[in-house]
Structure 1
C-alpha cells in the first residue's frame, strides 16, 4: 500500500468505523487524490502538474480561446514558483551547513549587519533573517533565484540555455497576462500564447525541476 493511500485511510478511519464499512470506496479515493496536496516540494510539483495536465486534456474544446491558454500559463508559472521557493527554503532551513553557505556566498546576505543586542534578544536571528529573505523573494525572477541556488547549493539552476530562455520569456509573458490581460507594454496582444506555447513552457518547467532535483539528491529524502 502506498503512502498516499495510507494517509487517505487514516483520514476516513473514524467515518468507516461509524458506518460499519470495512473497505474504502474506490471512487471516493480517486476524488481524494484530486484534492490531495503532498508536503514534499517535488511530490507537490508533480502532483500539481498532473492535475493541470488533466485539466488541459479535459478542456480541448477551449483550445480556440486565447484566455484559456493565458490562464494555463499563469498557473504553470505559479506551480513552478511554488516549487522553487519550497525546495530552497526547505533545504536551507533543515540542513545545518546550508545557511552558512548561503550567507557567505550571497552578496546581499553576507553584507547585512546587526547590533549585538539583536543577537542577544534572538539567538535564532541569522536563521530568521535568512528565512524572511527567502520568503520575500519573487521566484519568477529566475536569474535572482538562480543566484540563491548557486550560493546555497553550489550548482547552476539555469544550466540548460534552451529551456531557460523559454522560461524567462514565459515569466515576462506571465506578467503581461496578470497585469495587462494578455497585452504587452505596446498594447500588442500576445497571440503566440497558444497550445504549443503551453506545451513548451510545461516541458521546460519539468526539465528545470528535474535538473534541480538531480543536483539536490544528496540532501533530499523520499517524497511524501
Structure 2
C-alpha cells in the first residue's frame, strides 16, 4: 500500500493566506502549499496521511513563515509553524471540481465581464430589501470576483495560443516537480495542461502577484500608474477582510460601503479591465 511519502506525488498546490504576525505589519501573507489527499486504501489510518511543507514570506515586511499541510480522512489542515492558533484561509476540493477546471476553456472574458457589470450596476438602481451594509459589501465582493475571473480567463486565453507566453508563465507558477517521459509523451498538451492547472489553483488578484503573471505573459503591467497599483492592492486587502472577517479589519474596525463607494469601485474596475483589453489587443 502507498505510504504517506508516496502519496505526496499525487499532490497539487493551492493558494493560502493569513495575517502577517510581525508586530509592525498588518498585511496579508499569500503562499502556496502542496495539498495531498488521504489514501483511503492504506491498511492503517496513519499510513494514509499525506504531508507537505512550504516556505513563504510576507511581501511587505519579508517575515518568513513555514506552512505545513496534513491530510486526514476528513479533510486537509494547514498550519503555520510557531502559530498553532493562527487562522489560515485556503480552498481545497476533492470532489470533482478539478475535472471541471480541466475541461474549462474561457470564451470571451471581456463580454462576460461586461454582462456581469451591467447586471450588478442595475442592482444598484433597485431598492434593496437587505440591510445596506451587507448588501453593499456583497456588491463589492461581486465586483472583485468578476474582475479576478476576467484576469484569470485572459491569461488562459493568452497561453492557449502563444507558446512563448505559456512557457514564461509556466516558469513563474508551475510546481518544481519531475515528470517521467511516459507522462509527457502520453499527453500532447502536457505543458499547456500543467500550466493551466497551476494557474487555476491560484486566485489572480489585482495586486503584485497578478501583475507578475501579466508581465510574464504580455510583457506589460496591468496598472497604468503607481496610484492604481496602490489602490487595487488596498482593495485586495479589503477583499480579504470581507471574505474572512465579515468586513472587519484585524483591529475590528468595520469597512464602510455605500452606493457611492461601490459606484467608484465599479468604475475603477472598468478602467482596469479597459486597460488590460488594450494590452490583450496590442494597443
User: TM-score when scaled to structure 1?
Assistant: 0.70
Where does the alignment leave 5 or more consecutive residues of structure 2 unmatched?
A: 1-105
Mapped contact 2:144–2:239 kept (Cα < 8 A): yes
In structure 2, distance between residues paired with 1:187 and 1:113: 45
Point out where structure 1 has 5 or more consecutive residues left out of the alignment. Answer: 1-37, 220-224
> 8 Å contact 2:222–2:272 — kept in the other structure?
yes
CA distance in 1, matches of 2:179, 2:127: 54
| 2:111 corresponding residue in structure 1 | 43
Among candidates 116, 121, 130, match of residue 53 of structure 1? 121
* Distance change (3 Å), C-alpha of 1:167 and 1:45: same
Change in 2 beyond 3 A, CA 1:49/1:100: same
Give the whole-Å Cα distance in 1 for the aligned partners of 2:231 and 2:261: 9
Summarize the Cα distance change of 1:165–1:196 in structure 2 as closer, same or farther, 3 Å threshold: farther
Match of 1:120 among 185, 200, 215: 185
- The 3 A distance-change label for structure 1 pair 128 and 39 is closer
| Cα distance change of structure 1 residues 101 and 139 upon mapping to structure 2, 3 Å threshold | closer
SS in 1 for 2:208: helix
| Higher percent of residues as helix | 1
Other structure's SS at 2:161 match: coil
- Cα shift readout 1:173-203 (whole Å, capped 9, x = no counterpart): 122222221211222222x322222122112
Larger RCO (CA within 8 A; separation ≥ 6): 1
Is the 2:172–2:213 contact (alpha carbons within 8 Å) kept by the matching residues of 1? no
Superposed CA deviations along residues 192-218 of structure 1, whole A, max 9, x for unmatched, are 322222122112111111110001104
Shift of 1:47: 1.0
Partners of 1:86 and 1:107 in 2: CA distance: 17
Q: CA deviation at 1:61?
A: 8.0
1:137 aligns with 2:202: yes
SS in 2 for 1:138: coil
Relative to its length, the structure with more strand (as a share) is 2
2:152 aligned to which of 62, 78, 85: 85
Distance 1:42 1:216 in 2: 10
User: Counterpart of 1:9?
Assistant: none
